Structures are given as structure tokens and as C-alpha cells.
Structure 1
Amino acid sequence: MDFAPVINQFLQTHLFGDIFERDNLDWQSRELATVGALAAMPGVEAQLRSHMAASQRVGLSRAQLQHLAQLLAHSGYAAASARAVQALEQTPAPSP
């Protein structure tokens, strides 16, 4: 971001804004899909933690996110499950 600070605004406005404004999925479903995809990819732990927090802001509970991690493990994706669990543990619970 230091090299090209305007890139962050571009990404948030055009890439993420356009994707998240579509009406084919609700916010919670989008976050579940995003968390699952990020958990499957090593090296994107910061984004995974960010989306763990965003998931809670749109109304998903920590129990639901833990269940997602359990489903990943049950489906044979142990590494993805471990990344999801670790990211959730590192993400503060939302304040009431």
C-alpha cells in the first residue's frame, strides 16, 4: 500500500464493492464462502482473520464459524480447518 496507496481505495470501491453489492447472496452467505475459500489457501491468513471479523459483523456467530472449520475437517481439509480455527482464535469477539 505504501508503493501505491490509491490501490486500496480502488480495490475496496471497485473490486470488493461491486462483488458485495450483487444481490445473488446475502452478506452472511458471502462471508461463509469467503472464509471457506481463504481457509483453503495458505498464505492469506491476514485476509482470513479480517473476514472472520467481518463475518461476525454481519451476524454470524463464533459457533457458526467454528462449525465451518469442523465441516472443513470432516470433508478432508484438515489444513484448511486448522487455518480457520487459528484465524478465529486470533480474531477478537465482537463487542456487544
Structure 2
Amino acid sequence: MVTKNAQAAAFPDALGKGDPEPPPPPPAAARSASRLSDRSREARKHIGGYFEQEMVEKFAVLKARLGMDNSELIKKAIDALYASESARRAFGERPDGRR
């Protein structure tokens, strides 16, 4: 029978067995591309949400039909809603639809 001390001593050696080689570092082009994407996020704010499956499916269909990414689709929706609300206010309507 192997004692606990012998098992503890063998543990670090056992960790190294069967481990795959670490993946090679990404090529320089991939590293510079990731840095560019980081720069494109400067001075921007992430907006997200958790939605029911029905809404997720609608979102996916619109993305596919319009050929937009998530950010573009959300921006289009916010712009449309903002324009609608601005028009309502211009005609004296309150957010609840009353005048």
C-alpha cells in the first residue's frame, strides 16, 4: 500500500503526464486584429439584455434578413423608437398616448 506522503510526492509528477502541448501563440496578424477590435470599443458602452426564446428568435431572423450584426440591429431599433417618441412629443402626446 502506498502511503499518503508517497502519493503527495508523486502528485506533481502525475500532473505532467498526458497533458497536451500548449497551443502555439496566435500569429502576429491575429494579435494586431484583436488590438484593433479593442480600439474600436473605446468610448463605447455595452448594452445587453436577457430575453425569452421568442424574442431571441425574432432577433436572429432580423439579423439574417437585414444582414446586420447585433450592434447594428440594436442601433437601428433604438433610432426608430427614439424618432417615434420624438414625433409624439412634437405633437403634444404623452408617452402613454394621451394628449
Structure 1 length-normalised TM: 0.27
Compare the two structures and name the one with the higher helix fraction: 1
Decide which structure has the larger Cα Rg and report it: 2
Structure 2 length-normalised TM: 0.26
